[in-house]
Amino acid sequence: MSRTLRYDLYVITDEALSHGLSHVEIARRAVEGGADVIQLRDKGMSGKGLTKCALEIREVTRKAGALFIVNDRLDVALASGADGVHLGQDDIPASSARAISPPGFIIGVSVGNVEEAVQAERDGADYVGLGPICHTASKSDAGPACGFDVIASVKKAVSIPVVAIGGLGPQNAGKAIEAGADGIAVISAVVGQADIAGAARRLKYIIVEAKHRKGYQG
């Protein structure tokens, strides 16, 4: 990649888990707590509503110096000036998204094994979201847990960042980093907590400390 990006704490918004808070307010509190990346994820919102929301989050993340990613919707990501898009296995290929995206646009791809990760990198992905590592109730379409061992296997197979997701939180985020993850993506561990900023701050500390123990630079 042409620039150094941090994926340490990657928070995915979810209004259903946020105790009544909007996507924008979730983002605001998460970056206050040190989130490095905010992903806007809403499968039911209209394109118009999602774009309005994305434009507001774009301002929040820009002021905080955090990255802003839109889930699935490349059109919304481009229209809002987001830093990138995150694509699933059933979405358009990263190669197709890359062909119509501006220089420096970030493309992430959800993967569940080494083969999918290698293909994602080959298609031009900037990072992969690997999981679910553990069982999660936050995403009904997450699939079966793949475990911590797959993190090391994927990390050896690709040269792009590996962000672990699925059932991760303060109790096991350090284990995922020790296994080789470059970052931890969460929903309920931050968004579902009464104090989103506090939960993000605690988790970010755990991730950074685990990286220091492992000898990460930067």
Rounded to 10 degrees, the C-alpha dihedral 175/181/185/189 comes to 10
If we measure between CA atoms, which residue out of 213, 217, 167, 184 comes closest to residue 30? Answer: 184
Q: Which residues are catalytic?
A: 41, 110, 139
**With 60 as the cut, is the pLDDT of residue 217 above it?**
no
**pLDDT tens sequence across 147-171:** 999 999 999 999 999 999 999 999 9
Q: Does domain 9-214 have CATH number 3.40.630.10?
A: no
Question: What residue ranges do the domains of the chain occupy?
Answer: 9-214
User: According to the annotation, is 91 in a ligand binding site?
Assistant: yes
**With 90 as the cut, is the pLDDT of residue 137 above it?**
no
pTM of the model: 0.95
Q: What is the pLDDT of residue 140?
A: 60
Q: Are 103 and 78 in contact, with CB atoms under 8 Å apart?
A: no
| Whole-angstrom distance, CA of residue 30 vs CA of residue 35 | 6
User: According to the annotation, is 167 in a ligand binding site?
Assistant: yes
For residue 132, whether the previous peptide bond is cis, meaning omega lies within 30 degrees of 0, is yes
| Whole-angstrom distance, CA of residue 197 vs CA of residue 192 | 11
| Whole-angstrom distance, CA of residue 207 vs CA of residue 210 | 5
